[in-house]
Structure 1
Amino acid sequence: MLAVIPALLYTRPCKAMLLATLLLLCGCTGTSRIPEKDALFTGFSVKVDDTNDSSNRKKIIETELSGTVRPKPNFSFLGMRPKLAIYNTFYTEKEKGLKNWIQDKLGEPPVLLSTVDTASVSEVMRGRLHNRGYFNNDVRSKINLKKKTATIDWFATVSEPYRIRQIVYTSTDSLPVQQDIELTKAESVLKTGDPYDLEKMTAERVRIDAYLKNKGYYYFSPDVLIFSVDTTVGNRQADVLMRLKNNVPDYTLRPYKLDDIYIFANYALGDSLSVSDTISFRNYKYIPNENYVRARHLLRGVFLEQDSLYSRQDHLLTINRLAGLSAYKFVNIDYKPDTTKVGSLDTFIYLTPSFKKSLQMEGRYVSKSNNFAGPGLTLSFKNRNALKGSELLSVDFTGNFESQVGGRGSQSSAESNQNKNINLSSYELGVQSTLTFPRIISPFRLRNLRTEFVPQTRMTLGFNFLNRVQYFTMNSFNASYAYNWRPKKEFTHDLTLINLQYVRLGKTTEAFDSLLRDNSLLRRSFENQFIIGSIYQLTFSNQMEKNRTHQFFNNINLDGSGNFINALQSLTGTEKPTEENPRTFAGRSYSQYLRVENDFRYYFNFGRESQIATRLLAGVGYAYGNSTVMPYIKQFSIGGPNSIRAFRARSIGPGTYDVPDSLAFSYFDQTGDIKLEANVEYRFPIAGFFKGALFVDAGNIWLLKDALKEDGTPDRPGGKFESGKFLNQLAIGTGFGLRVDVEFFVLRFDVGIPVRVPTEGGSALSDFKFGFKGDNSMTLNIAIGYPF
């Protein structure tokens, strides 16, 4: 897919754009404001000379030493310095105004050679090498001047590092803390034979402290541990000795148990505290108001127990679980020594309630990539403690109006010209209520998961009315019963045990009836749909670890309907279903299908805020038994701002199928049973909160089987999946984007350029037209958030 980018650069519009960009960025070299006897610091290198060390460790050390260079050169991209160019272009000595804002927020002042203290940097590098076990090292620097620019080379000469010969945990007495430290020696990050490393020794102190914190040592700290290193044993070896600091207070080395545990369930900042008015409940001192959150529900999130050793892990687990309750906005836990019992702590849990009820109204204007645009309004009501167990009740009333402001592009037929005069519009009204319980509600007794994330039971009920004015009205009902839980921070399970959806087509127009008569597959997919089944999703993500070079995300979705009901009816001897006489439930025929979709993403982070983001998405849906076609709402579509951005939403496929002029403006027909999509995007910083992107998207949808018209010809010719042809039927698009990323909000502008249209006789890159009008032209996508 990446091969299309060089070809794109040969088009005349792109040549002009590239030339203008290069002239703008290269026109300012960055040296126009450099003082007479100074130079622009443009780069540096660090080389470690050590023939005895492994190349891998050598690279790690060179990277670490490079991080000590201060200040860093100006940001550069493809050999240019856009931030410096902006600074010089908008330079002003005024402290206010637009130019000052652009200069400070989007620009970057020149980094001068005179600001780089090479001697100080070299000394820091020597210290880093010493900390890595290179006790005998030397660091030199060399400045390379070229006109008004300068680079600096640092050369580090080192010998074989000192290695750990043995690790000794010394003790002069038999304190319990010393015995507990001995028990954790096997988990030490320090290993004999490893190079001496100060960072690992610091990490070892932190590890032991974390271990002891979970064994009751509330007042212990890493500073209590002292390392001594003996390098006189010879042969570049060192003995590492660890001991406890002298004259440490006794309470620091003593394990503590929890005594009384007080829970202030309705605490407000500034309240005067009193523990006299308490209710004892399961060995907890519960301070009312019991009418706010019932104790039996609240204690599911408390993992601190009376007479147990203090545990930092249980402390954090309790805070996270209680903070995850919708009824509370602040959680704090404090410990105080019990003056009547040596080695005991009293525990105080303070819970500050959130506002119980809220009403919010949100207005919006939506512009979709299928050329529908219009205003919308949502009114949301929330009760964060609906049943006195921190249940969240959410009721949303929505209304939307959309009108189609354009079409797919130029058409040539008279019928198409007539369609262009049609201004499609629709309005939608809906209500959705969700009741979320911060616990698993099940007929079976389940153990309380020891995880920092609150398990949830979710009940939903909703209704939606859609009026596509020129075509039809549609009523849809939905109800579900679902569980959500996270046993680990990387994994999320979501099981919709009961998923009910009923879609009923209401009034239809003659124009829509004509479309259905001409397309049997479309007609069957729009028949009244009754979905009764289950959905399971498993999500893995390590993206919360921001400093990882390699980040992964994977979501698998399993969706089935009608299988359980159909199996029961088969066991009871119900007549076998046919296309003309399907089985029914509650007087309605139901859909039977299995749908599987997997979304895999990989992110490679490098440089300063640069990233290669990739996505591979595959899905298949298969109707059988009581159904001959997947419900329309469960079929796959492709294209749009979060998919293949060179094409509008639902405007691709299936396969090489070319939508006839009579359907060119309807967008009903371009769905399928199989979906394949791949995306690659290079994301990079430009200036301030402005980020850029270059991307390539590819994909398509297909049918598993052809639906035939009355004359025996396929409803959608070229739409069926064929293993030997599908790669040549991929729609391909490329393009570039600008993102305004202010961390909590991302506004995205992506310009997609079609490279290959999959229809028979479809266009290629050579047919590309510069601009946003007509076929084979650019597509502007405006969206919130990143596409993946």
Structure 2
Amino acid sequence: MGAVSCSTTKYVGDKEYLLSKVSVKVDDKNISSSELNQNIKQKPNIKILGVWKFHLGLYNLSGKNKKKGINKWLRRIGEEPVIYEDYQTQRAKVQLEIYLRKKGYYNAVIEDTVIFRRKKAKLKFNIIAGTPYKYRNVYDEESDLPRNFLSPYQKSKEISDTSLLRYYLVADSVNRDIKPGQNVDSDNLGKERDRISKLIKNQGYYNFSKEYIHFMMDSMGKDHQMDVFVGIKKPQSLNVERKYRIRSIVVNTDYNPKSELMNDSSYISKLDTLTYDNCQFIYNKKLNIKPDVILNSLGFQPGSLYNLSNVEASYTKLQALSQYKFVNIRFEVDAEAENQPEGSLNCIIQLTAHKKQAYTIEVEGTNTSGNIGFAGKLHYQHRNLLQGAEILDISLSNATETVKSSSKGNFFSREYGGEVSLSTPKFMLPFFNANRFKRKYNPKTRLSMAYDYQKRPDYTRTQADISFGYNWKSSRYLSHSLSLMELSFVDVKNLSDDFLKNINNLYIANSFTEHVISTTRYTLTYNNQNLNKPSNYNYLRLSFETAGNALKTVDQLMGSKKNEDYNDAGELEGTYYDLLGIRYAQYVKMDVDYRYNWHLNKVNTIVGRLFLGLGYAYGNLEVLPFEKSYFSGGANGIRAWQVRSLGPGSFSNDQAAYPNNTADLKLEGNLEYRFKLIWALEGALFVDAGNIWAVSSKDGRAGAEFEMNRFYKEIAVGTGIGARVDLNFILFRLDLGLKLRDPSLPVDQRWIIGNRPFNFSQLTYNIGIGYPF
């Protein structure tokens, strides 16, 4: 490809120029450069790493014969050279001017410069923004307007200040999107129109629309300021100023669009009706869902005033039932009430159900803590088990994974398991009445049971779980999960001699003994990703859990007898309570995981991640169970280290046959640049940094404990390159990591570069499924 980069103008004509660069410079920092660039449609060929026009190079590899197979293929996967066109420059100037006027810069000056050299053109836009116009006063009532602001004709077209529509507008003025002192911005005016329209529709005005809302502005003699009047046009129809109530609700639970459109008599003859709670249900042969489930998902009922927000919330709740592939809510005006003070609406809800049961057999790649493998899974789902939109999931799995060993070669880990879960749209909370919460957030209750058996050369582990909790969404981007009770029984046996050699005190050993975990966990997730349109987005997950406190309180209240804990020397090291003869863990734990995705263009993306986690064990088991502890390294962590081989702190454990380093605190940051190449092939460059540390002073590993005056000296740093194959349904990933800074080395030798020559044995490869974050 090096030769390709020297022939970027191969298919540029004699009197043509390759557009090599477009830049925009503006003298006002308040103007978004990215939004300015979006108004320039003529853009140079895409670059990788900011310099390499890889896709143009592929196109230029093709020969002159367009019909030849290889040439046709190269041109299809490559990118045609972008030729500079003057009319596109003039078009861009017009679009930039329109954008700047929309943002209040009415006197902006736009200058363009084109530099031609060696068959290439560089286009520069220089924008002198000038002083923006700002809102001075915003008026909601005609009576507050300065004299002669409106002409007599204009006044005649406005609704009066005494109108209820004007009253609702004035009463909610605190939530306006336009305020004095802001730049004049037509986008904000559009938001304000939408806000007012929804506000009025929420008061029952079914026939009102945003076309009745307009803005009148006056900047005469106001020195780059504007007074704004929020106007509402006088409707020509009385129905616009009439409130509407919902008279009836008809729910078709077996809606067939094709049969309805064709007026299929056979389909219609099979329909039956049921009246429940003043609502009518239409169904085919049998009503397969309880009417309460539908009605509880509606934000309105017969007799309710029309409210647009409640209708939108009803859409969301009906779709969240996961019962229907098609949901439609429409309203028809009841002609019989046209002469009444209030209008009437008949609501028709059309629902087309998913298939009730599904069976799937899956063969999939797995990636557990960076260990690659394959698994087979048998999955059964019933979407409406008890006719209350309950979703039953049953799965059986069998997996084999290759686990890396530092000295004895890779080995296989085998795992068998099964899980049964039941999710219901009801909010089952013992001893509490939470009707208001249920209506607002539509939570789901989930009960699950699982069993897992794992066999490794260093130990055998079995785990049985039962959990009960809730999921709900409080907004479009904000979701919540509360695991009210999660009980896990963990048994670890057959620890190998090599593994036991690395456990040098009872504190570490206790994390690998059989134990019970009784957990309550809350997780808050914010994710504003738009799956339909690639763009920048944030992801934030906060998680807090506590374990063992309730069990210990019960034991103390009941006066339960404590068990005694002795070390290898026969000395008493502590006492503890048990549950069914098994010691239970007691700890608190909190995680923060933040990610930001920069969508640069259709082939370039930068993703950053920051993770902070802390667990503190106390009381009944003063060490975190190993499955709740933190580890680093591997395909989803600091990729220059094998999974579980880094840390804690400056602790070194290179002699361990099976790396399994864990600790109580984890700090990690990652930055990855991703770029698309050809077909499904993608590339990546990354930098990872972080480590894990012990919090307890009882951890006897040298250099493992977290200390404020030295932890930053124990940050590990790795870099590397990666390749991905994205097949849409699965993404295969290979990352090659290289250590840059190793905290296990002496302080003056931790930076690898300059301290030892490079050789390929220093590379760590990680195979993964899906992106690392």
Give the TM-score taking structure 2 as reference length.
0.84
On the 8 A contact 1:162/1:237 being kept in 2, the answer is: yes
Partner of 1:4: none
Deviations 1:256-291 (A, max 9, x none): 221101122333332556999543333322335775
Residues 1:300 and 2:287 are matched in the alignment: no
> Contact 1:692/1:738 (CA < 8 Å) preserved in 2?
yes
Q: Does the CA-based 8 Å contact 1:706-1:719 persist in structure 2?
A: no
Matched, 1:478 2:469: no
- Superposed CA offset, 1:633-671 (max 9, x none): 22221111111011111111233333363x32x23x412
Q: Give the counterpart of 2:620 among 615, 626, 629.
A: 626
Q: 1:166 to 1:488 in 2, by over 3 A?
A: closer
Could you say if the C-alpha distance between residues 537 and 236 of structure 1 is closer, same or farther in structure 2, counting changes exceeding 3 Å? closer
Using the TM superposition, give the Cα deviation of residue 606 of structure 1 relative to its aligned residue in structure 2, in angstroms: 6.3
- Within a 5 Å distance, the mapping from 1:608-757 to structure 2 comes to 608=601, 612-659=606-653, 661=655, 663-664=656-657, 666-667=658-659, 669-683=660-674, 691-705=682-696, 714=700, 716-740=701-725, 746-757=731-742
Separation in structure 1 between the aligned mates of residue 599 and residue 271 of structure 2, nearest angstrom: 58
The alignment status of 1:263 with 2:241, answered yes or no, reads no
* More divergent stretch after superposition (358-367 vs 381-390): 358-367
In the alignment, which of 60, 68, 91 is matched to residue 39 of structure 2?
Answer: 68
Query: Which residue identity is paired with 2:328?
Result: N
CA distance in structure 1 between the aligned counterparts of 2:552 and 2:560, rounded to whole angstroms: 9
| Alpha-carbon offset, residue 691 of structure 1 | 5.0
Which one-letter code corresponds to 1:614 in the other structure?
Answer: G
Aligned pair partner of 2:75 in 103, 114, 118: 103
Task: Sort the Cα spacing of 1:197 and 1:564 in 2 relative to 1 into closer, same or farther, 3 A.
Answer: closer
For residues 95 and 695 of structure 1, the distance between their equivalents in structure 2, rounded to whole angstroms, comes to: 40
Q: Give 1:520 deviation, angstroms.
A: 4.6
Match of 1:8 in 2: none
Report how far residue 383 of structure 1 moved.
0.8
The separation in 1 between residues aligned to 2:499 and 2:16, in whole angstroms, is 78
Structure 1: gaps spanning 5 or more residues: 1-20, 50-54, 409-415, 709-713
Task: Please list, as runs of the form range in 1=range in 2, the aligned pairs for 1:124-523 lying within 5 A after superposition.
Answer: 124-133=95-104, 139-154=110-125, 160=131, 170=155, 171=158, 176-185=164-173, 187-191=175-179, 196-227=184-215, 229=217, 240=228, 243=231, 248-269=236-257, 270-271=259-260, 277-288=272-283, 291-342=287-338, 343-366=343-366, 374-404=373-403, 407-408=405-406, 419=408, 424-443=411-430, 444-449=432-437, 454-468=442-456, 470-506=457-493, 508=494, 511=497, 515=501, 520-521=506-507, 523=509
Tell me how far apart the structure 2 counterparts of residues 235 and 471 of structure 1 sit (CA, whole Å): 79
Contact 1:25 1:81 in 2 (8 A): no
- Do the aligned residues in 2 keep the contact of 1:591 with 1:631 (CA within 8 Å)? no
Q: Is the CA contact 1:426–1:466 (under 8 Å) kept in the aligned structure 2? A: yes
One-letter code aligned to 2:642: R
C-alpha contact (below 8 Å) 2:62/2:71 kept by paired residues: yes
Taking a change above 3 Å as real, the CA distance of residues 341 and 475 of structure 1, as seen in their structure-2 partners, is: same
CA separation of 1:521/1:218 partners in 2, compared to 1, >3 Å: closer, same or farther? same
Contact in 2 for aligned 1:300/1:448 (Cα 8 Å): no
- For 1:412, the equivalent position in structure 2 comes to none
Q: What secondary structure is seen at the aligned counterpart in 2 of 1:340? A: helix
Q: 1:450 to 1:317 in 2, by over 3 A?
A: farther
CA–CA separation in structure 2 for the residues paired with 1:619 and 1:375:
29
CA distance in structure 2 between the partners assigned to 1:556 and 1:693 by the alignment:
28
Take 1:188 and 1:621, find their aligned partners in 2: how far apart are those partners? 45
Counterpart of 1:449 in 2: which secondary structure?
helix
The corresponding residue for 2:149 is: none
Contact 2:330 2:347 (8 Å CA) reproduced: yes
Q: Residue in 1 aligned with 2:555?
A: 569
Letter in 1 for 2:364: R
> What letter is aligned with 1:27?
C
Given the superposition, is the C-alpha separation of residues 759 and 48 from structure 1 closer, same or farther in structure 2, using an over 3 Å criterion?
closer
Counterpart of 1:786 in structure 2 is: 771
Instruction: Give the SS at the match of 1:488.
Output: coil
Look up the SS of the partner of 1:73 in the other structure: coil
Mark the CA change 1:208 to 1:536 in structure 2 (over 3 Å): closer, same or farther: closer
Contact 1:451/1:487 (8 A) holds in 2? no
Tell me: CA distance 1:129–1:431, structure 2 relative to 1, closer, same or farther (3 Å): closer
The aligned amino acid for 1:605 is W
Q: Report the equivalent of 1:27.
A: 6
CA contact (8 A) 2:511 2:623 kept: yes
Q: How far off its partner does 1:616 sit?
A: 2.9
Return the letter of the residue paired with 2:641.
F
2:593 pairs, out of 582, 592, 600, with 600
SS in structure 2 opposite 1:765?
Answer: coil
The offset of 1:390, in angstroms, is: 0.6
Give the counterpart letter for 2:29 in structure 1: N
SS in 2 for 1:117: helix
- Write the letter of the residue equivalent to 2:10: S
Structure 1 range deviating more: 331-340 or 199-208: 199-208
Structure 1 range deviating more: 165-174 or 217-226? 165-174
Residue equivalent to 2:83? 112
Q: What's the CA shift for 1:626?
A: 2.3
Identity %: 29
Is the CA contact (8 Å cut-off) linking 1:599 and 1:615 kept in structure 2? no
In structure 1, distance between residues paired with 2:80 and 2:439: 48
Query: In the TM superposition, what is the alpha-carbon distance from 1:624 to its structure 2 partner?
Result: 2.9
Mapped partners of 1:751, 1:209: distance in 2: 55
CA contact (8 A) 2:539 2:594 kept: yes
Q: Secondary structure at the match of 2:713?
A: helix
Q: Which runs of 5+ in 2 are unaligned?
A: 143-154, 261-266, 567-573
Provide the rounded CA distance (Å) in 2 between the counterparts of 1:541 and 1:178: 37
Structure 1 pair 453/354, CA: closer, same or farther in 2 (3 Å)?
farther
- TM-score norm. by structure 1 comes to 0.82
CA distance in 1 between partners of 2:392 and 2:75 (Å) = 48
Q: Return the alpha-carbon distance in structure 1 between the equivalents of residues 653 and 227 of structure 2.
A: 78
1:460 and 1:445 map into 2 onto residues whose CA distance is: 23
* Kept in 2: contact 1:460–1:481 (CA 8 A): yes
- Name the CA shift for 1:512/1:291 in 2 (closer, same or farther; >3 Å): farther
Question: Compared with structure 1, are the counterparts of its residues 90 and 454 closer, same or farther at alpha carbon in structure 2 (3 Å cutoff)?
Answer: farther
Task: Show CA shifts across 1:20-71 (max 9, x none).
Answer: x7x356433x21221111111223344568xxxxx334x44x7655433332
Q: 1:84 aligns with which of 56, 59, 63?
A: 56
Q: Secondary structure at the match of 2:473?
A: strand
Residues 733 and 754, structure 1, Cα contact 8 Å, conserved in 2: yes
State the alpha-carbon separation in 1 of the partners of residues 428 and 115 from structure 2.
Answer: 70
Partner of 1:413: none
Q: 1:766 to 1:521 in 2, by over 3 A?
A: farther
